[in-house]
Structure 1
Amino acid sequence: MKSLLTLLLLIITISLTAQTTFPNKWVGDYDGTMIIGNAGQANATVPVTFTLEELIADSVYIHRMVFNSEQYGVITKDYQLVAQTAGDTTHFILDERNGITMDQTLMNDCFYGMYTVMGSTYISTLRRLPDDTLLWDLFAAKSDTERVTELEGKEPIKVVGLTVGLHQTVYLKKRF
């Protein structure tokens, strides 16, 4: 009985620590320098500000990233992050507010997104780190880099690989 109680307490502790801190610890203004890497080229850097602000309680958040590029000027991505709750499950939609929406999954304090645009597949993450920093990553691969390999046998396996040609990474430090 004592072992069962210990196991139950361990499971409860693990599930509590795996819960997200969104939105309470996330909301705020952030600054960072984005590193932009393209395969075969030197990295570029761009100063970035990010704002996450609650617009409608527990359901709609402002998700704004501003790029201060010397080459292209100021570029603002002014999106909304919309929470859709069904029972105990909450799913998120990143709404570009122009008809384009992208699914976002929140797991263990990290948003994950994956989408295909004009022949390129993108994977994005936005992770909250313990020191009030957000780590934002974007990776992209063009579909024409596809490489297919197969394993034959009783249960054949087909693997489609893509070559990542672009990454964008920024550590966003919260302003206080």
Structure 2
Amino acid sequence: MTPNPALSDNTFPENWQGTWRGIMYDRHLKGKSQIVPMMLRIKAISQNPIRYTWQITYGTGAKKIVRNYELVAKNLDTGHFVIDEKDGTLIDTWWFKDKLYSQFRLGNQLISTAEQLQGNKLHYELVAYQFLTPQIQVSEQNTSFESYQLRTVQSADLSFVKE
């Protein structure tokens, strides 16, 4: 039997459950960068855990932004999950070799995310790219080609917090 590349010793999302806190560094290629407190809460919603809360909080106090999402298992054999933003937006997410990946386009931005449990830290990264008007309309292979400029890199190392 060939081992499934999506599976690993780092059982996801079961061993990621709990509250994770830290500082997110929001760095922009042009303009200001900022440091923002960040929290991620992950918890099974039912006894049959195919749905998990995936609550992300940015900031504190009056400026706090809370994103109440859900992580939904679609196909555990292939590591396919979906982040349900609860507004009709579903982001396909893929568990592969101890890392959770997603990539999607929002308007003219291409956004890639990756999360990974490394020791006792949960590393988060979001990279956003802005579409560039192509210099050459068609490649030599006669296929369409798009190029993107780096805009933003957000990263955080979150620590498990007992509540």
* Bin for the TM-score computed over the shorter chain: 0.7 to 0.9
Residues of 1 paired with 2:32 and 2:106: CA distance?
24
Residues of 1 paired with 2:74 and 2:43: CA distance?
17
SS of alignment partner, residue 97 of structure 1: coil
Within the alignment, does 1:66 sit opposite 2:52 as a pair? no
Q: Retained in 2: the 8 A contact 1:36–1:168? A: yes
SS of alignment partner, residue 30 of structure 2: coil
- Which structure is higher in helix share? 1
Residues of 2 paired with 1:69 and 1:163: CA distance?
31
| Pick aligned residue for 1:39 from 26, 29, 54 | 29
| Pick aligned residue for 1:29 from 19, 42, 67 | 19
| Pick aligned residue for 2:117 from 125, 128, 131 | 128
Residues of 1 paired with 2:78 and 2:126: CA distance?
25
Within the alignment, does 1:94 sit opposite 2:83 as a pair? yes
**Corresponding residue for residue 105 of structure 1:** 94
Residues of 1 paired with 2:67 and 2:124: CA distance?
14
TM-score when scaled to structure 2? 0.83
Within the alignment, does 1:167 sit opposite 2:148 as a pair? no
TM-score when scaled to structure 1? 0.78
Aligned residue type for 1:62: T
Alignment deviations for residues 49-72 of structure 1 (CA, whole Å, 9 cap, x no partner): 1101111223000000111157x7
Structure 1 pair 165–78 and aligned structure 2 pair: CA distance change class (3 A): same
Within the alignment, does 1:138 sit opposite 2:138 as a pair? no
The alignment yields a C-alpha RMSD, in angstroms, of 2.7
Deviation at 1:19, TM superposition (A): 4.5
Deviation at 1:161, TM superposition (A): 2.1
Percentage of matched positions with identical amino acids: 20
Q: Retained in 2: the 8 A contact 1:20–1:107? A: no
Query: Which structure has more RCO (C-alpha within 8 Å, separation ≥ 6)?
Result: 2
Alignment deviations for residues 63-93 of structure 1 (CA, whole Å, 9 cap, x no partner): 00111157x701001100000137x334101
Residues of 2 paired with 1:146 and 1:55: CA distance?
44
Structure 1 pair 140–69 and aligned structure 2 pair: CA distance change class (3 A): farther
